[in-house]
Amino acid sequence: MDQPKVIITREEISNKIAELATQLRKDYREKNPLLIGILKGSFVFMSDLVRAMNIPVEIDFVRLASYGTSKDSSGKVKLIKDVETPIKDRHVLVVEDIIDSGLTVRFILDHLSLHKPASLKFCVLFDKPSRRKVEVPIDYVGFTVPNAFVVGYGLDWNEKFRYLPDLCILEEQD
Ligand code: PRP
C-alpha cells in the first residue's frame, strides 16, 4: 500500500499563500475580481486564498474532465460544469491547484476568453513544468514540484488523500 510522504508542509503552503495574497491584494484592490476555481482539486486552495487576500472578491467554479481513460492518451478536455456568473468586462482570476500537461488551463483560458472578460489571469499553487505538453501563461505561481505523483491539499489519487493538509508524494511500502 502506498503511503503519503510530506514534501511541502502546511506551514510552507500557508506562508506561500500569504505571499501570493499580498501580491493579489495589490493587483486586484478596487477591481471586484471574480475568482474561478477548477473543481475538484482547487477547493482547498481557493478557500485559503480568498481568506488570505481579505479584499472583496466573488467566486465561482467550473468542472472539467478529460475524454478517454487518461489525459495522456487523448489530450482532450470537456466542460462538465460551466461558470454561472457573467464574466463579460469582469476581472477574472482562474485558481488552480496544479498544472501538469497544461491542457486543462489551455482549455479554460480559451473558453473564458470567448466571453470577453476585462482581464483574465491564472494563479496556480503547484507547477509541474516537466510534464507540460502545451505552453500556457501563468501569472502567479506558488511552488514548482518534481515529476512525482502528488496528493493532499485538495489533490487526489482515486479520490483519496484530498483531505491531507500537506502536499505529499505516494511512496511504496513493503
Ligand atoms: C487535476 C488538477 C488540474 C489538472 C491539471 O485535475 O486538479 O485541474 O489535473 O492537469 P493538466 O495540466 O494535465 O490538465 P483532475 O483532472 O485530476 O480532476 P480533479 O481536480 O477533480 O482531481
Give the tens place of pLDDT for each residue, 50-100: 999 999 999 999 999 877 555 454 668 899 999 999 999 999 999 999 999
Q: 30: CA distance to ligand 1 center in Å?
A: 31
- Ligand 1 pocket test, candidate residues 104, 109, 128, 162, most atoms within 8 A of CB: 104
**Residue range 36-60: mean pLDDT, rounded:** 97
Cell numbers for 14, please give them: 500557508
- The count of C-alpha atoms lying within 13 angstroms of the C-alpha of 79, restricted to the half-sphere facing its C-beta, is 14
**Residue range 137-152: mean pLDDT, rounded:** 96
pTM metric for this prediction: 0.93
Q: 155: CA distance to ligand 1 center in Å?
A: 8
Q: What percent of the chain has pLDDT over 90?
A: 87
pLDDT at 3: 86
pLDDT at 136: 92
- Ligand 1 pocket test, candidate residues 46, 97, 103, most atoms within 8 A of CB: 97
More confident residue, 150 or 3: 150
